[in-house]
Each structure stands twice: as structure tokens, then as C-alpha cells.
Structure 1
Amino acid sequence: MNLLKKTAPFYYLALFYFIINCIIRIILIFHPITQSKFGLIDLLKIFGFGLVSDLFVFIIASVFLFVYLLFISNSKYNKPTGFIILGLFVLLFAYVASGKSILTEYGGGLARVGMIFIGLKTALFALLLFLPKYRNAIRYWLFSFTLFLYVLLIIQNGISEYFFWNEFGVRYNFIAVNYLVYTNEVIGNIMESYPVVPIFAALFLIAGIITYLIVKTSRIYIDSIPTFIEKIKILVVFFSLFGMSLVAIPALAKLENSTNLFANELQSNGLYKFYKAFKDSELDYFKFYKTLPNSEAYQILDEQLPGLKTESTLRTIKSDSAEIHKNVVLITIESFSAEFMKAYGNEGALTPFLDSLATQSLQFTNLYATGNRTVRGLEAVTLCLPPTAGESVLKRVDNKTKFSTGALLKERDYTVKFMYGGNAFFDNMQDFFGGNGYDIVDKNSFLPSEITFSNVWGVCDEDMYKKALQVMNQESLSGKPFFNHIMTVSNHRPFTYPNHKIDIPGDIKSRAGGVKYTDFAMKEFFEMAKKQAWFKNTVFVIVADHCASSAGKTSLPIDKYRIPAMIYSPGFVAPNKYNQLMTQIDLMPTLFGILNFTYQSKFFGQDVLKADYKPRALIATYQDLGLIKDGVLTVLLPKQDVKQFELKLNPKEGVAPEFQIYYDQTPLAKPRTDLINETISFYQTASDVLKKKKYNAL
């Protein structure tokens, strides 16, 4: 019985969590947006299975509280143990403060956050060590503060679930995950939309009262700290329940099978829905966006992609000439905005090599990235697919055996590789490319002697290019053509690279230095590549994965999506400029046209050099899906909303017309229904083929 009393912090918090969730379910049932009636079975499932699910979710969520309580003891402050632990804390703090830790290398404010956290832990441990008379009082306030945070988060989650339901009529989904990505915008919207000060004042007051009641009834844990044996017993019980919860939560989710969709949402647990949205990385287009009848959507798509025969994108691409099986090297450059290059108006001489290479290439001057993350750029050049709502296909569960550029080249007996200077485990690249038939060369493939410089993201671009050359020299001996997709890493925060390579030291950690070093490393690569026997039989495709930043005055500021792209192959591809509007998804189909490929295609991307191509660009965030066409940006948003903006050029002096980037975006006075339907067509059909697995490899 005494041991049961000592678990009071858990079961009182659990009881409070149940009460809040029960209240939320009742409120949401009677919410005006819940336009449904519930039968007895529905209500039993909502409150029966729902509350059981809440119990198991709480067990998972209370693991941090459990770890905190587990380490409360007096013995760790005895000599010499207490002084050893304090010394380790001080050393850890000094390491982070030195500026040489991995937190500093990562960049941003992470090192500062780490210093604050470790500093507080060190200071609190020192107080408890050196002030034994006040140890109980200090521990009491820390215990109270920890429970207050849990109470506060439980109440705040309940309020958040209400507001999310109020806006979308569902529990958390990928939009909620997206809100964590765009924290500044979301907080700004909340500040402008709701009376924040009164709400938070009431929230803190209620949380304080509830915490007082819970602490009053559960402080026995710190007044009579469990013995080592008692903690072992609690540990066994907790982890038994923890393991049971891992099995029970998804099992209970499968019981959300009512024909009443509102009943399923109310039965579910919001925190688990949030986790599942994060894991699955999808946002159901058909639930949240404006749609057309599927047949109509595909009919409109057929006007853009001639030759569709069924409700799919399968069609035949024919060439009148024999196929040319040259080696293909695709280089996607990290965070490389068009505005970094001289032609687009940059006066900083950041990219002298690429500026020169562009004049020797087929240059696509009016090309837009599909998104603002690396995974979107990789998705675009690999799957040639519009950016569907939610996360990129790379990070989804169903991301393998897709119709891809690699698969198409593999059919032609190419060796196919993805090369990345970092660990391909990051951003799910290894799972995606490996699952689509690519061999992977990443940092794990390097010998220690092959790494001259690396940071948190991986080896520097020079090392990656040298490794790529080594691999390609070996591949060329087989007599088979090769396709190698290289993803660079150096132009990424913290912008560190080898010193004495360019006139901006790597220690400065500047964006300009990152751009300039990226250009320098590429120059070194091409100088070495030109000396190789396979060079004359190789086509190089160079494109950015996305721009350096995506922030702007609107949700889709189109200047933040404009990227450079070119196809370089001396003696094969004549230097030229292609100035029509296009997107990343069109780049590889255009290359296949240059190589005279005849093939069955599922690509949404098109050969822009063909006469039937209709200029347009597809750009998106996680939830705002845009189409640029005819001087108009059409944006599809959740809740079946649509916005349209007229694009008026804001020219930069001294820049040629084809390289102008900046446009004023003003709301369109009269809606263009044709463009709205076309935008819906692209994104609805892309979502449809993925959902129905119609975009898998042939």
C-alpha cells in the first residue's frame, strides 16, 4: 500500500488527463462543426475505447516524468559521488561553451539552448549538493514545477485540440505537424486572432490550482523517497505498461472503423494522431482541398499531358531517332538560389565558375523549385511528380518501387547510384533511394584517408567529388553507361569548409562563403572530370534542390523558388537559353528527350523542348499548393480554400528580361476558374496516383 501511495504523481496526473480528454470529447460532440448524430455504439466506442487509448498514451507521455522521479535520491550527493557528478556537469558545460561541440557545429541557437539547459542542471545539482539543509525545500519546488509543466501541457493540449477542431473538424493531422515547422508564422497568427493574454493568464491560474492539489496529495514521493528496491518494482511495472502501450495504441486505432467519420475522430487520441501524422507524413488531399470529379480532373490533365488513356498518367513518349545512352551525372546543389548568380543580378562574384559554365550549357533561365526542402528537390528530379500535400514522398512509408528516373535508366542497363557526402540515413534518403533501386555512396563509404574535412552534415564537397570521380572511373571500366546523382552538402548551415580554398575563411561560417566554396568545389570537380576518358560521353545536369530561404511577404513568394539549372555536355548539347516557365519536375524528362528516349512514362514532368509543352510551374509548401501560369499564381489551401494572385514584374536594373526574379503579388480581382481547375487537376491527380499506388514502377 505504501508503494502504491508513492506512485501518486502518476495516477493523479493520469486522472486529470482523463478528465480533460473526456471534457474535450463532450465539447467536440456538441461543436457546430460536428454535423453528425451518434448512436449508442458510437458513443460507447468514443468514451470506452477512447479513454482506454488515453490511458496508454499517457503512459508513453509520462516517461519523462518517470525518468525524473527515478533519479531523485539522496545517495548521489554523498562524497565522493556528488563531487564526481558535479565535475562531469561542469566539464560538459565547458565543452559546449567552448564552441567546439557538435551543437555549435550544427548552428543556429542550438548551442545556446544546450548551454542554458546544462547550466541549469549544473547549478541545481550544486545547490542540492552544497546546501543539504535546503535540499528538501529545493526538491519540493522542483517537483512542483515538473508537475506544473505536465498539468500545463495537458490543459494546453486540450485547448489546442479544441481550436484545431474548430478550424478543421478533425483531430491533429499533418497540418499540426506543419505548424511546428512554421512556428513564427503560427505564433503570429495566434497573437492576432485570439485574446492571448487573458487566455494564458487563465491557463496559468488553472494549472497552478490543479498542480497545488496534485502536489498536496502526491508529495509523499519526495517526503519519503522510494528505496532502491521500491524503485526497481516501480521500474518493472512501468516498463511492463510501457511495452503494453506500444502494442495497444495502434491496435485501438484500428477500432476507429465507424462509417461515421466524426465518431472515428472523437474516439481517437489527439497526441497519437499527431505522432501518426508526423510518422506517415501525409495530408489527405481529398479531405482538405478543393476537388473535382476524378474523371474531370484527369480530362483536364490530359490537356497538359497529351496521350492519357485511363485515370493514370501512363502514356507513351516517342522519339523519331535512335536512343543515345550517354553517361548521366545529376548534381543537385544544396540551398542554391538563382539570386546567387551574376546573371540574376548578384554583384558579389560568388559563383564565377557556374556563371561561366552556364554560358557553355543549355541554361533554363525560368525554372522554379517545387518546394523549400531538400527532400522536395530530390523528389522532383527523381519522381518528376508535383509536390503533394504533407511531407515529400521520400519521408513517407510508401516510398519504394516508384516510377523514377533511376528505374527508367536502369531499364537501359545503366548502373544507378545516389551519392551524398553525409549519412544517407538523414531525411530518409537511404530508405527512399535504396528502395528505388539506387546503390548508395555516402559518408559511410569513405575511408578515413579520403576525408580531409567534415562537419555535422558530412564531408566537404571536394571530398565528395573526389569520391564520385573514383567511383565513376571504376564504373567506366564495365562498359556500361552510368547514372550518378550527387547531392552536395557544403552550402548549408553552419557553412564550414576547408580554409585557404577561397577568399572567405571557413571559420567565419557565412552564407556567402558557403556559396562561394560550393562553386569552387564544383570547378575543381569539372577540371578533374575533363581529364577522364568517360567525360566526352557524359551529360551533366546541374540544378539546385531549393532556394536558400523561403520566407517572404506571402505564403508562396515566387522569388524564393527560382533556382538555376543547366545541362552541360560539350560537343553534344549546344549552349543556349531556354526562357519559358518550367519546374524541377521537367528537367529529367527534358534530358530524356535530348537523349531520344522512347518509353512508357508516368511522369508529370515534361520535355519542355517539345512543341506541345504548355509553360507552367508547380510550387508548394507542406500545405499551400501553387501553380504559376499566365502571370497568375493560384494557390490551393486546406479547408477547400483557393487564392489567386496577379504577378507583376518588379524589374531589377541591369538584369536581362529572362533573368528577372522579383514580382509583386496582388490578389486577383476576378477569379480565373480555368486556372483554379487546372491547379486542382495537377494536385488531385498526383494525390490520386500515389494513394492508389498507380505511380509504382512498371
Structure 2
Amino acid sequence: MQIFKSRYGAFFAFLSYFTIASFIVRTILLIASLKTTSFGLLSILKIYFTGLFFDLGTGLIILTFYAVYLLLMPNRFYQKKWSKLLTIGIFFLLVMITLFSFFAELTFWQEFESRFNFIAVDYLIYTYEVINNINESYPLPLLISGMLILAVAITYLFKRLGVFEQSINSKTPFRQRIIISGSFIAIAVLFLLFVKNSWADNSPNRYDNELSKDGIYSFFAAFRNNELNYHNFYRLIDEKEAYQLVRKQLIDSNTTFDKNDFSIKRTIKGNNSNYKPNIMMITVESLSADFLAHYGNTQKLTPVLDSLADKSIFFSNMYATGTRTVRGMEALTLAIPPTPGSSIVRRDNNEHLFTTGHVFKQAGYTDTFFYGGDGYFDNMNHYFGNNGYNIVDRGRKLLNESFDGTRTLITDGEVKFENAWGICDEDIFNVAIKDADQKFKEHKLFNNFIMTTSNHRPFTYPAGKIAIPEGSREGAVRYTDFAIGEFLKNIKSKPWFENTIVIIVADHCASSAGKNEIDISKYQIPCLVLNMKNIAPMNIKKMSSQLDLFPTLWSLMGWSYTSNFYGKNVLDASYQPRVVLGTYQKLVYMKSDSLVILSPQRKVETYIYNKTKNEQIQAKFPKSLIDEGIAQYQTAYDLFKNGDLKY
């Protein structure tokens, strides 16, 4: 064919190979699926035609950089021997990579009956475990050798057909190359930007949808979307029953639900809406409960926090929902269980959600997110900025993205110490104090979300502040505690302090690794509420979640408000201790000492949790308790996906 005799011969050769190989993989997966489901003629046609569309688009994306090379390389250089070797080398490398991808798809389907999704992305985080698992499951040396031989054979076949020789010897004019390369690059870019993997999800038969996709494109779509489809991978219960179970848990004498059966939106009636204090919430990076003496630590790392615990509203048995900062942000602003995949903070379509900040904004407050690093990281600025918060961060430049709120950059003059992760905690606290001074002058109430960074690797901080040398976690914890103490000293003389509540809460623990796959002890965090009017210090020993912080606070403040949150006032007589937490895949519901763990493949495990020994003992629970756990996550996933968390 003429196209194989042009400069683009190797380009079209790879695209042909990739399309044929994808067809073969799709056929193998379809045959494997026949034991589970059946396919009609229209289903098969849909699978192959939609699949061809995704395969061609993916192939062009893979070849984009090679298309640029073919466009820019002058004929006098392109026809050199080294160029021929480079072309063959690129072809071989791409074949090798895609062959490994195809093999991985076959094994992934064997396990999950799905194209690549966020589980596959999650595996990248646990590279050591995955490589060892593959090594133990398959003869890795033979596998690699087989892939190499097959890649060599495919490359040799196209060499024998004269593809590389004809490609190198051709003299395709530059104008023609602009049209060809430009067209393919444009198609690849448009495909990448606008074609959603969900376009294949148009059949009630999940196998139709999965087989229509391309595995490689599915992988990067999952990486971009950061989520797993709960309905495809986790156990389900009747939708109406799920909402009834969640409502039953959230109901109390002050609550009135909307008439919509498929919603948790409700009105909560308080007794004193006149109390409107400023809120300064310090969300401390990686502050595990076991750093504090109150939880048994003997290293004296947190003398400030330990001295404050008995003078505050102290949630001494609170649990984080996850192991990442964005999970803590999600829990503290959305009060929603951690749905599978990554935090909603990092997902698409996360704008204009019903956040805790929205409740404050409705009451006349100005919401501001303070971060000592660049809030572009982990999509934080996009999330907060498009959910009504002003942003104050250390980003080096203003982005063109528009936000609901404003963005202010922390200047060099405001920074005394910073590392690669961000400015030190003292500096971010001083920036927040300066902002509070200005808000007070303007007679504005403020709700501040302050995210610290010092208790994060590389664990460096200003010299001469504490006795522990920098570079260790213990030193970083001690410095953060010191900085909080200085912050409290500085604000006590401020005219706005008397009407300001200070919250100190962790985003997550310092480590999630433990003897159990999900180590419950690695999710326990401290939470202190300071300077609240007319409320005596108390130790709230009931097991609670990050989700419960603001519902409890608003109840103590006497507020009436609309709620779309899964959190509840833990001081209410009807409150039943429970927490929700998880990893990217595992979803946990713990009620008292009963532990329900939901996993992909609709797997459910049940344990009794012995907190004293930090042990999980297998046990059988009634279906009603398991359904409670399923209801939390099933409804949370649906509310976000259906847009019902938006205001």
C-alpha cells in the first residue's frame, strides 16, 4: 500500500499492529466473558466498532511524539543510517510497551472482569507489592523473555516487508508532512481533551461497556478521573433502602428531611442563631493521635496541645477518613464518606458543592483557604476556589483559571523560612493573622481553613526554635506544636480574638501502615475546639469522625441550617458511634467495635475490632449491619455522581 512507502510507513505500521492486537485482545476478553453473559449481534457490533474508535484514538495519542519527529526532521538527516536505527528502535520500544500492556489487561480482566480502572492506577502506588505479586504469580523471566521475542518478531516482520527501508528512503515534502502530522496530532489532542471513556458506558450490560473500551486509554482516564465506579465493583442494596438506612442514622428531634426519598438533605433546627464567632481551623499535616501524651506518648512532643486538651472541647476518639491530605479536606468540607478512588478534591465536576463553607457563607461569613505551598498541587486551589473560598497560597504565579473567590499570593517578604513543600507553620499562621486583622477592620466575619506543611517530609523548620535537630518526624511534630503555641499567644491580644473559635484538627495520621491491611489505629487523630463562649471544656470520648466536627460545633453554637452532610452532632442522645474510613479501594464502616470492610469484586469482610490490642477478629454480623455500611458508600457515591451534592 502507498501509505507504507512514505515517510509515515513505520507510523502506519505501528498503528496497524496496535489496532490488530487490540482487536485480538478484545476478542479474547469477549470469549472469556461468554461464561458469564451472552451477547447479541448488535452488542457485538457495538463492542467492535466503538472499540475500533477508542483503539485508533489511543494509537494516535501514543504516536504523537513520533509524528512531531517525522514532521520536523529534514530529509537530509532523516535518510541517515542512525535515523533508520532510531525509527526501528522507537517502533520496537512501542511494541514492547504495548505488549506488556495487553498482557496486563488479560490478567487484570481475569481478576476484575474490567478494563483498567483506578485499581490499576492504585497499583502504581504499591509498586513493591505488585511486582512481588506478579513475580509470585507468573514465571516473570519467561514472561519477559516471551514478550521480548514477540516484540522482536513483530518488528522483524515489518522489516521484512520493507516498511522501515521504504520509510527512510522516501522524500516526503515538508508541506505534505505539515498536513499529515498536523492532522494526526490535532486528532490525538482533540481525542485526549474531549473524548471521555464514559462514552462507552451506554449499555445496561456492563460487559458490553468494558469490552468497547481500550485498556490503555481506560488507564489514563482512570488516572485523570481518580475514581472507581461503585456500582460496578462493590456490593449494592436497594437504592431506596440505602437512603432510608442513612436517614435513620441521621435523624433526631431537631431534624426535618426533604420529601425526596433519594436525598439526605434536611433542615436542622438550633436554639440560638445569634452567636456568630469567627472560625480559624488549623488543619495539621499528619498529626497522629499517638504523638500526644494524652494517647500515651512519652516523648513530650506536643506540650502545647497536651496543655490545651483539658481546656478545650476535646474529641479524644476521632478518626480521619483517609490517609491523604485531600481526604481530610474532603471530610472537613463535605462531611462525606470516602468514595472509592481518590478524594473529590481531585476529581472532575467538583465545583459548587454543598460544603461546610457554604453554610458559613449563607450566614454572612467570608471563607478563605490558606496554604503554605502551591495550591495547584492536588487540585486544591481549583476545589476551594470553585466552592466559594478565597485562596491565599505560595504559588509562584497567578493562573488564568477563574475562581468563585479571589487568589492572593504570599509574598517573599512574608516568608522567613520555606522548603520544597512550603513555608513554615509560623509563617502561614502570621499570614492568616494579618488577613484576620484586615477582615476585622472591614467588619467581616471569617471562616478560615489553614493547612500546615511543616510536619511533612523533608521535616525542616527554622533554626533555634526547638531543641530537636531538623530532619526527623519527631522534630517536625515538636516544631508544629511550638508554632501553634506562638500563634495562640499572638492572637490573644487581637480585638477579634474574643469572638473567634480556634479548631485544631489533623488531616490524617503520619502513617497508615500496620499489621492489618487497614490498621484502624493509624486513623485516630486529635481534635480540639478552643475559645468557645459559654461552653465548659469537655472530653468527648464517643467514637467520632472528621465528618462530625462541624455538625457538633453548629449544634453547640445553636445554629439552624440546611445540611447535606453525613456528619452528626455527637452530643445528641440519638448519636450512635460509628466512623467511615478507607484506602483507594477498601471502604470501612465501623460501628462501635463492629468492622465492615467493602472491597472490589463485591467482597465484604466482617471483624470485631479489639482497640486495646489493635486486633481484628473475624466475625459474622447480621445483614442489617452490613447493609448500613453499604448504604453509607452507595448513597455518597450516587449523590456526588448525580450532582446532588451541589447547591
TM-score by length of 1: 0.83
Secondary structure at the residue paired with 1:643? strand
CA-based RMSD: 2.8
Matched letter for residue 296 of structure 1: E
Match of 1:487 in 2: 451
Q: 1:684 aligns with which of 634, 639, 645?
A: 634
Q: Compared with structure 1, are the counterparts of its residues 233 and 290 closer, same or farther at alpha carbon in structure 2 (3 Å cutoff)? A: same
Percent same amino acid among aligned pairs? 40
Q: Distance in 2 between matches of 1:320 and 1:2?
A: 78
- Distance change >3 Å, CA 377–CA 289, structure 1 → 2: same
Specify the alignment match of 1:38 in structure 2.
39
Contact 1:590/1:608 (CA < 8 Å) preserved in 2?
A: yes
Query: Partners of 2:220 and 2:562 in 1: how far apart?
Result: 38
Give the Cα–Cα distance (whole angstroms) in 2 for the partners of residues 491 and 232 of structure 1.
Answer: 57
| Alpha-carbon distance between aligned partners in 2 of 1:4 and 1:247, rounded to the nearest angstrom | 28
Q: Which residue matches 1:22?
A: 23
Q: Give the whole-Å Cα distance in 1 for the aligned partners of 2:301 and 2:69.
A: 51
Structure 1 residues 389, 339: CA separation in 2 closer, same or farther (over 3 Å shift)? Answer: same
**Counterpart selection for 2:183 from 240, 257, 267:** 240
* Contact 1:177-1:278 at 8 Å conserved across structures: yes
Question: CA 1:72/1:360 → structure 2, altered by over 3 Å: closer, same or farther?
Answer: farther
In the TM superposition, what is the alpha-carbon distance from 1:413 to its structure 2 partner? 0.8
Whole-angstrom distance in 1 between the partners of 2:201 and 2:527: 47
Counterpart residue number, 1:201: 145
- Pairing 1:333–2:284 present: yes
Q: How many residues end up aligned between the 2 structures? A: 622
Separation in 2, partners of 1:74, 1:351: 68
Q: Is the 1:28–1:34 contact (alpha carbons within 8 Å) kept by the matching residues of 2?
A: no
Q: Distance in 1 between matches of 2:204 and 2:542?
A: 48
- For residues 214-245 of structure 1, what are the alpha-carbon distances to aligned partners after superposition, in whole Å with 9 as ceiling and x for unaligned? 45645448976x88x85675455223212123
Matches within 5 A, 1:149-298: 149-214=93-158, 217-220=162-165, 234=177, 236-248=179-191, 250=194, 254=199, 257-298=202-243
Residue deviations 1:419-455, cap 9 Å, x none?
1111222211111111111111111422221122222
Corresponding residue of 2:513: 551
Go from structure 1 to structure 2 and tell me whether the alpha carbon gap of 1:412 and 1:18 turns closer, same or farther (over 3 Å shift). Answer: same
Matched AA of 1:490: S
Amino acid at match of 1:155: L
Q: 1:389 to 1:497 in 2, by over 3 A?
A: same
Which residue of structure 1 lines up, in the alignment, with residue 558 of structure 2?
596
Residue aligning to 1:657: none
Partner SS state of residue 298, structure 2:
coil
CA distance in 2, matches of 1:203, 1:633: 44
Alpha-carbon deviation of 1:597? 0.8
Partner of residue 271 from structure 2, selected from 312, 320, 327: 320
The C-alpha deviation readout for 1:113-153, integer Å capped at 9, x for no partner, is xxxxxxxxxxxxxxxxxxxxxx967x777655543331121
SS at match of 1:458: coil
Q: CA deviation at 1:497?
A: 2.4
SS at match of 2:32: coil
Pairing 1:383–2:326 present: no
Offset of residue 489 of structure 1: 1.4
* Residue of structure 1 in register with 2:591 after alignment: 629
CA contact (8 A) 1:323 1:598 kept: no
Cα distance, 1:456 vs structure 2: 2.4
Aligned to 2:401: none
Partner Cα separation in structure 2 for residue 215 and residue 356 of structure 1: 75
1:501-516 alignment runs, 5 A limit = 501-506=465-470, 509-516=471-478
Q: CA–CA distance in 2 between the matches of 1:140 and 1:510?
A: 52
Equivalent position SS for 2:449: strand
Find the counterpart in structure 2 of residue 579 from structure 1: 541
- Aligned amino acid, residue 609 of structure 2: L
Cα separation, 2, equivalents of 1:597 and 1:49 = 53
Which segment is superposed worse, 272-281 or 526-535?
272-281
Determine the C-alpha separation between the residues in 2 that align with 1:563 and 1:221.
Answer: 66
- Distance change in 2, residues 1:210/1:664 (3 Å): same
Deviation at 1:73, TM superposition (A): 8.6
Equivalent position to 1:440, from 376, 383, 391: 391
Q: SS of the residue aligned with 1:540?
A: strand
Q: Does 1:429 align with 2:380?
A: yes
Q: Of the candidates 636, 658, 673, which is equivalent to residue 623 of structure 2?
A: 673
2:429 corresponding residue in structure 1: 465
Which whole-Å CA distance do the structure 2 matches of 1:33 and 1:527 have between them?
69
Looking at structure 1, the residues matched to 384 and 5 of structure 2 have their Cα atoms a distance apart, in angstroms, of 51
Measured in 2, the distance between the counterparts of 1:361 and 1:46 equals 61
5+ residue gaps in structure 1?
77-134, 652-662
- SS of residue matched to 1:329: strand
Contact between 1:53 and 1:252, CA under 8 Å: does it hold in 2? no
Going from structure 1 to structure 2, the CA distance change for 1:251 and 1:429 (only over 3 Å counts) comes to closer
Partner SS, residue 456 of structure 2: coil
Q: Distance in 2 between matches of 1:481 and 1:411?
A: 12
Kept in 1, the 8 Å contact 2:226–2:347? The answer is yes
Aligned 8 A contact 1:33 1:166 in 2: no
Q: Cα–Cα, structure 1 residues 43 and 674, in superposed 2: closer, same or farther, change >3 Å?
A: closer
Give the direction of change, closer, same or farther, for the CA distance of 1:456–1:67 in structure 2 (3 Å limit).
Answer: farther
For residues 558 and 110 of structure 2, the distance between their equivalents in structure 1, rounded to whole angstroms, comes to 54
Q: Deviation string for 1:349-402 (max 9, x for gaps)?
A: 222222222232111111110011111100101011111122211122221221
Q: CA deviation at 1:34?
A: 6.1
SS at match of 1:459: coil
For residues 476 and 35 of structure 2, the distance between their equivalents in structure 1, rounded to whole angstroms, comes to 51
Are the aligned partners of 2:609 and 2:616 in contact in 1 as well (CA < 8 Å)?
yes
**Matched residue SS, 2:607:** strand
CA displacement, residues 225-271 of structure 1 (integer Å, 9 cap, x when unaligned): x88x8567545522321212333565596466345442232222222
Quote how far apart the aligned CAs of 1:328 are: 0.8
SS in structure 1 at match of 2:524: coil
Q: 1:26 to 1:352 in 2, by over 3 A?
A: same
**In structure 2, distance between residues paired with 1:477 and 1:14:** 65
* CA distance in 1: counterparts of 2:548 and 2:173, whole angstroms: 65
1:8-32 residue CA offsets vs partner (Å, 9 max, x unmatched): 3322222221121011111111114
Q: Does structure 2 conserve the Cα–Cα contact (< 8 Å) formed by 1:401 and 1:435? A: yes
In the alignment, the residues of structure 1 paired with residue 176 and residue 75 of structure 2 have an alpha-carbon distance, to the nearest angstrom, of: 19
* Deviation of 1:582 (Å): 0.8
Answer whether contact 2:4 2:166 (CA < 8 A) is retained: no
2:416 aligns with 452
- Residue 62 of structure 1: aligned partner: 63
SS at match of 1:585: helix
TM alignment of 1:363-378, pairs within 5 A: 363-378=314-329
Q: Following the alignment from structure 1 to structure 2, what is the Cα–Cα distance between the partners of residues 548 and 540?
A: 22
CA contact (8 A) 2:7 2:70 kept: no
- What is the deviation of 1:405? 0.9
Q: How does 1:387-426 map to 2 (within 5 A)?
A: 387-426=338-377
> d(CA) in 2 for partners of 1:320 and 1:255?
51
Q: CA deviation at 1:70?
A: 7.2
Query: How far is the alpha carbon of 1:475 from its aligned partner?
Result: 0.6
Cα displacement (A) at 1:474: 0.7
TM-score normalised according to structure 2 size: 0.89
